[in-house]
Chain A
């Protein structure tokens, strides 16, 4: 019995020390790395710093709230697959048309539904142009759905360019996966 007690005690001590050790290791790292979030830095009540230091933290801009688009995106793609595009192009390919047609049919049946079309690119190319390309891809998809009888105001578009890739390998397979439009259905986010 005593041995069991000692064993338990030993285990408890191990865990306690493990906990302490872990904390002792991580805390300074967290302080050192420039990882402080803006929320911590934001309060305007901070008193100014010492004389010769520049006074900037005081009025650091408030952190911007993250918005609901991401929540919706989690629920997407279960209903509709993505459509894909050729490199540097934003024209609708033949293989995308059945998907677009089924989305149009679904929207015609579900009159309350709205949809966000998200345009994406592979990571080759420059950021700003890729954003424009993603926007054009989303708009091409939207125009196709509109031409199938859905009113334009039920469809919204946004481009993420080369941000948020589905995969990161430098292969044609992966590039193709990333050159896409995703369809997010719901109450249109906002």
Chain B
């Protein structure tokens, strides 16, 4: 059973219990790393912006030291999932971990890049990692990392990010988190985990029901809806203080949308006063602005990452469809026309795509569409697939699916490839949202 990384709390009771390490594992992580060597000029080994990508054959050797294999395996899994790397099977390697890098040992097995590393220490771990260019026969970078034993996965993800950055020129997402909803003793609560499903932790927040959270763009807080005491309210959890604040609650239905780019405003939908409406709430001074007013359903507002547009769901035409308007509520236009049920819009970080859920033959499937076109692309086809959201680099999508029975969380590339379950089998999990950093 994988309960992930736990933080040990030495309290009066001396009792061990799982606590949410969450994204602050990353922020507070005691990882010291510095470049020992940097190539004079940055060379891009894979242009991942090109439409036809040739996978880069890479060899990731088992690092020496007790945790060496685990670290190398995590790096391999991270890089492989992106679809930009072809990780060569270790059985084919000629050169041993202890031997110095010799490009001839690698060119014969087709490797173009090689990762070698050493790990020393038991509790406090120091890893020294080198990335080599086989063609040029030189070291691309060499770096030293230090951390505590409990943060080994984070250490490996940090190394994977560095390798990814050197080879593609872009930031990797291997250190990111996922906030989601899972069932705990019959009640739904908020959870957090690493993007690869490791380190599942409860955040200790429960209403009778909790809906999927939304991150602020700086990753310091989430906003979500919860039913408490017969009322649906909107709540904010600030990770810097680990405190929860009620932003809004009333009769009727109140469902949180996402944050504005600066993190000071949220949009939400409410039926507090008979009419449905989309609202903007400024958190600093609680200024509430009504954006729309409707006799029909209007929910799930999603502000674009550049703050200009809002995608939302309305059944004004008789069926739920996705519409787009300006932040001020003007220039509304319908985005989806195919099918009788399109909901749950979410933007890509570059504002160029909207991911949403459409119904096909009675099942929910994930689609992607450009905000200026009406040609959606279907990405899933097995059972029900819901709650999609983009990774911060826009290259992956996380979602929930019941394809293997109970609802679990999956990730895939933004083109629908490599769909992979990441939550453990004992957890009924829904509503994932990828952290922005």
A residues adjacent to B (C-beta < 8 A):
31-38, 40-42, 45-70, 88, 116, 124-129, 131-133, 135-136, 139, 156-160, 163, 189-190
Q: CB distance A50 to B8 under 8 Å?
A: yes
Nearest opposing residue in chain B for A116, CB measure:
B230
- B255: CB under 8 A from chain A? yes
Nearest opposing residue in chain B for A53, CB measure:
B7
* B217 / chain A contacts, CB cutoff of 8 Å: none
Nearest Cβ distance between residue A129 and chain B, in whole angstroms? 5
Q: CB distance A127 to B211 under 8 Å?
A: yes
* 8 A-B contacts (beta carbon < 8 Å): A38-B206, A49-B7, A50-B8, A52-B29, A61-B205, A64-B226, A131-B211, A136-B297
Given A69-B229, A132-B253, A157-B251, are A127 and B10 also a contact pair (CB < 8 Å)?
Answer: no
The 6 closest A-B pairs by CB, nearest first: A67-B229, A57-B19, A59-B242, A52-B148, A69-B230, A61-B244
Q: CB distance B211 to A128 under 8 Å?
A: yes
Q: CB distance B299 to A132 under 8 Å?
A: yes
Determine, out of B20-28, B38-46, B56-64, B371-379, the stretch whose residues face the partner at the interface.
B20-28
Determine, out of B196-204, B328-336, B415-423, the stretch whose residues face the partner at the interface.
B196-204
Nearest Cβ distance between residue A51 and chain B, in whole angstroms? 8
The interface centre, meaning the residue of A68, A88, A128, A132 with most chain B CB atoms within 10 A of its CB, is A128
Would you list which residues of chain B between 359 and 378 have a CB under 8 Å from chain A?
A: 359, 362, 364
* A157 / chain B contacts, CB cutoff of 8 Å: 251-252
* B1 / chain A contacts, CB cutoff of 8 Å: 32-33
How many Å lie between the Cα of A35 and that of B21 in the bound state? 16
How many Å lie between the Cα of A64 and that of B245 in the bound state? 12
Would you list which residues of chain B between 1 and 59 have a CB under 8 Å from chain A?
A: 1, 3, 7-12, 15-22, 24-25, 27-30
B residues adjacent to A (C-beta < 8 A):
1, 3, 7-12, 15-22, 24-25, 27-30, 147-148, 150-151, 184-185, 189, 200-209, 211-212, 226-232, 237, 239, 241-244, 251-253, 255, 269, 271, 274, 276, 297, 299-300, 313, 319-320, 340-341, 343-344, 357, 359, 362, 364, 386-387, 426, 430-431
Nearest opposing residue in chain B for A188, CB measure:
B230
* B147 / chain A contacts, CB cutoff of 8 Å: 52
* B184 / chain A contacts, CB cutoff of 8 Å: 34-35
Known: A54-B7, A54-B25. 19 other contacts (CB 8 A): A32-B3, A34-B184, A38-B205, A38-B206, A52-B30, A52-B150, A54-B21, A54-B27, A62-B244, A67-B229, A125-B343, A129-B343, A131-B211, A131-B253, A131-B299, A132-B297, A132-B299, A158-B232, A160-B209
Q: CB distance B319 to A189 under 8 Å?
A: no
* B340 / chain A contacts, CB cutoff of 8 Å: 88
How many Å lie between the Cα of A38 and that of B204 in the bound state? 5
Q: CB distance B9 to A49 under 8 Å?
A: yes
Q: CB distance B229 to A190 under 8 Å?
A: yes
Q: CB distance B19 to A129 under 8 Å?
A: no
Q: CB distance A63 to B206 under 8 Å?
A: yes
Q: CB distance A57 to B20 under 8 Å?
A: yes
* B237 / chain A contacts, CB cutoff of 8 Å: 61
Q: CB distance A64 to B343 under 8 Å?
A: no
How many Å lie between the Cα of A51 and that of B387 in the bound state? 37
* B255 / chain A contacts, CB cutoff of 8 Å: 128, 131-132
* B299 / chain A contacts, CB cutoff of 8 Å: 128-129, 131-132
Nearest Cβ distance between residue A52 and chain B, in whole angstroms? 4
Q: CB distance B252 to A45 under 8 Å?
A: no
How many Å lie between the Cα of A158 and that of B313 in the bound state? 20
Q: CB distance B30 to A68 under 8 Å?
A: no
How many Å lie between the Cα of A65 and that of B209 in the bound state? 12
Given A49-B9, A52-B30, A131-B253, are A126 and B17 also a contact pair (CB < 8 Å)?
Answer: no
Q: CB distance B242 to A47 under 8 Å?
A: no
Cross-chain contact of A53 among B21, B269, B362 (Cβ < 8 A): B21
How many Å lie between the Cα of A26 and that of B162 in the bound state? 44
Nearest Cβ distance between residue A182 and chain B, in whole angstroms? 13
Nearest Cβ distance between residue B276 and chain A, in whole angstroms? 7
Q: CB distance A159 to B253 under 8 Å?
A: yes
How many Å lie between the Cα of A141 and that of B300 in the bound state? 24
Nearest Cβ distance between residue B91 and chain A, in whole angstroms? 35
How many Å lie between the Cα of A28 and that of B180 in the bound state? 26
How many Å lie between the Cα of A133 and that of B271 in the bound state? 12
* A33 / chain B contacts, CB cutoff of 8 Å: 1, 3, 426
Nearest opposing residue in chain A for B17, CB measure:
A36
Q: CB distance B271 to A50 under 8 Å?
A: no
Cross-chain contact of A58 among B202, B230, B242 (Cβ < 8 A): B242
* B189 / chain A contacts, CB cutoff of 8 Å: 38
How many Å lie between the Cα of A189 and that of B208 in the bound state? 15
Q: CB distance B251 to A61 under 8 Å?
A: no
